[in-house]
Structure 1
């Protein structure tokens, strides 16, 4: 099993998805596209695709000229019936690749907050792995309309479209289920100044947030990761 992973920003690791891929014995081909590493022309050498998050928006083609090609590559994998997972920015690029509108500059959703599954998610092979409501980590301001034909799978109080599926195994998931408490701790250190400017209250109460939601979010995130990897 050979999985292409596209990284769009510094320190945005695979987290729980990496653990699930390792458990499945997958070989990971990591491309740091934001640093200029070349993307494959097509899906022929890979069994699945993971597109990670980033600080840029999904339409920032002038600063990140690889984004249109990445959106096309996402659809190429999907058209070949291969599993695709877009997380945060990655989900926005899945939406773009399938012709949906990206919505930029909305209010920021940050920290551990509850996500609610839709009724249709109860029979979905990935979202059925978690309970109807669960806490999970968020960090985004942009969002998207659903692509035509997409199955709506989850929402939150701030964001209507938190997860969707296209076809058998193409998933766009806005929330950071890959970010277990270890990865969130790393982000809190690496991006401390940015968080302090915009989410000072959250930093001040970080320990309480972890104690309240960390373990449940970790459990839900790993269940989702394992369920998606099983589709490869």
Structure 2
């Protein structure tokens, strides 16, 4: 049976539509909390697919969150073995750090629904399903990263140049959130209530926007994820 490892940093930021498709495809799924998991128990080469999710901390904050060093080491081993690995938001930043790139605060925070611009290279990959003509992407990040050496930029947005990149044959990283669903975001509005208020956003307005954009994003995400898994031989 094919296996998938999903790494969380906060419980309410889950794998969304990707998790649904993994279940439909009969993957055996292991979900772990990066914050308190015994990393010595995890073999980075075991899972057929690994998804590293987001969270409200910086990939560079191991002085506050020491487990990040273990997670980066885990990703270094997996990435250099060229195993299918998908990073989202903090996950993408940790992948960039594992590949030797710098991660740091962005000049502006990107929070809400904004389109992606797919690069010429991205148009030949499954990332093309997220083209601005087909859907609007969800964003929630205050950090950014340099493109790792050897990586290929696949998509950008107005506020963030390095949105999606690939590395090697089987690693893919999203600064944005292709996995979210309108229903799943309800937990985000509660979990990130303080940040939403601080940024002067409205949960009601965010809910309205999710109702408009969420269904199409979820549809495109399924197309993307199925093709990406197939391209990775999974």
Corresponding residue number in structure 2 for 1:216: 216
Q: CA deviation at 1:105?
A: 4.7
Tell me what 1:147 maps to.
148
Contact 2:129–2:221 (8 Å) recurs in 1: no
Structure 1: segments with no counterpart, 5+ residues: none
Rounded to whole Å, the distance in 1 between the matches of 2:192 and 2:168 is 36
> What whole-Å deviation, never above 9, does each CA across 1:93-134 have from its counterpart, x for those lacking one?
01000001112253210111111110111112x213343543
Return the alpha-carbon distance in structure 2 between the equivalents of residues 158 and 219 of structure 1. 24
Aligned counterpart, 2:28: 27
Counterparts of 1:89-108 in structure 2, within 5 Å, are: 89-108=90-109
Task: Give the CA RMSD over aligned residues.
Answer: 1.9
* Deviating more after overlay: 207-216 vs 58-67: 207-216
Q: CA contact under 8 A between 1:104 and 1:141: conserved in structure 2?
A: yes
SS of the residue corresponding to residue 59 of structure 2 reads: coil
1:225 and 2:225 aligned: yes
Q: What CA distance in whole angstroms lies between the structure 2 residues aligned with 1:189 and 1:41?
A: 31
1: CA distance between counterparts of 2:213 and 2:42? 41
- Contact 1:5/1:30 (CA < 8 Å) preserved in 2? yes
After superposition, give the CA deviation of every residue in 1:177-219 in whole Å (9 maximum; x if it has no partner): 111111112212333343123233x435235423442232222
Q: Distance in 1 between matches of 2:45 and 2:168?
A: 19
TM-score (norm 1): 0.90
Query: Where in structure 2 are there 5+ consecutive unaligned residues?
Result: none
| Aligned 8 A contact 1:88 1:176 in 2 | yes
Aligned length: 229
Name the counterpart of 2:13.
12
8 Å CA contact retained: 1:95, 1:144: yes
Separation in structure 1 between the aligned mates of residue 57 and residue 99 of structure 2, nearest angstrom: 19
Residue-by-residue CA offset, 1:76-107 (whole Å, 9 max, x unaligned): 12222210011000000010000011122532
Shift of 1:22: 1.0
Residue 229 to residue 182, structure 1, CA distance change in 2 (3 Å): farther
